[in-house]
Amino acid sequence: MNAIFSPRVIGALALYLTLPIIVSLMAFAQLASAQAYAMPRPTPTPHAARVAAQKARAESFYRTGLGMFSASRYADAATNFQLALELVPNNADWRNALGLTFTRLNRDEDALREYHRAIALDARHADAQYNLGALYHARGESDRAVDAYRAALDAKPDFALAHNNLGTLYAERGELERATREFESVITLDPKSALGYFNLGLVLARQNQVAPARAAFNQVIALEPNGEFAPRARAQLDQLK
């Protein structure tokens, strides 16, 4: 029986690395109406004004970088993220974004450096931990990948993709009971996850749990009859007859 996990199923970097699309825009409150006795706002000091202007420039570079990333212009995205970080170096989200961009550019060592910098700034940065784990996973460094995925889940227990990738890594190592628990977590968190049911079916089939495996593959087809996993699920069902 063929129960090989495809690159997409195991959480290929191009598919499952996450980028938090969160831009901290500066908000300016205005009074709804003038009041005679309203306290005047203090005039910003020159230093405060420079800091605010620098932050605004950095956020502009970051937003431009997000646009470039979305357009798959990764080299341009990296340039803009780096310009943002030159102005505001201690932003964990931006470090993670730059790391992800380096990953897309196949600059693994640079990506690892940025993920570690993001985590140094925020040890519970789930996205950076996840991205670090996914990169280690792709490089075959499974112990480090497990540690990073677990750190992501410690920070964000409902991180379904981290459960999926951790389950896949366990499956690759032959730790099928652990893999099963992770894929069960995926479908508990996201009952409509065809990916979760498909992976669960694969590990159940490898444990000769035929009836539960068939149920999982049938659920894939029920959820997404025309989806990408449906043909694979049907093929697995044929092999389980």
Give me the CATH number covering residue 173: 1.25.40.10
Mean per-residue pLDDT for 211-239?
Answer: 95
**Which of 45-49, 59-63, 64-68, 113-117 has the least mean pLDDT?**
45-49
Residues 58, 150, single domain; the answer is yes
- Residue 54: the pLDDT is 87
- Please give the Cα distance from 21 to 137 (Å, whole number): 24
Residues 186, 217, single domain; the answer is yes
Number of domains in the chain: 2
**Which of 31-35, 47-51, 60-64, 188-192 has the least mean pLDDT?**
31-35
Q: End of a domain among 128, 156, 184?
A: 156
Surface-to-core class of residue 90, CB atoms within 10 Å of its CB (0-12 exposed, 13-18 middle, 19+ buried): exposed
| 105: CB partners within 8 A, 6+ apart | 74, 75, 78
Question: Model-level pTM?
Answer: 0.80
- Residue 7: the pLDDT is 29
Mean per-residue pLDDT for 142-150?
Answer: 97
Mean per-residue pLDDT for 106-118?
Answer: 97
Q: At what angle do helices 160-172 and 176-189 cross, to 10 degrees?
A: 160
Per-residue DSSP letters for 181-207? HHHHHHHHH-TT-HHHHHHHHHHHHHT
Residues 109, 194, single domain; the answer is no
Q: How many CB atoms lie within 10 A of CB 8?
A: 14
Surface-to-core class of residue 193, CB atoms within 10 Å of its CB (0-12 exposed, 13-18 middle, 19+ buried): buried
Q: Is residue 123 part of a domain?
A: yes
Q: End of a domain among 139, 156, 173?
A: 156
Residue 213's pLDDT band (boundaries 50, 70, 90)?
Answer: very high
- Residue 51: the pLDDT is 80
On the question of pLDDT at 108 being above 90, the answer is yes
Residues 152, 162, single domain; the answer is no
Q: What is the per-residue pLDDT across 25-43, written as a single tens digit (0 to 9) for each?
A: 233 233 333 334 455 666 6
- Please give the Cα distance from 78 to 75 (Å, whole number): 5
Show the domain range for 191: 158-241
Q: End of a domain among 107, 139, 156?
A: 156
- Residue 41: the pLDDT is 64
Contact 167, 182 (CB under 8 A): yes
Handedness of CA 107, 109, 113, 119 (dihedral sign): positive
Q: What is the per-residue pLDDT across 85-101, written as a single tens digit (0 to 9) for each?
A: 999 999 999 999 999 99
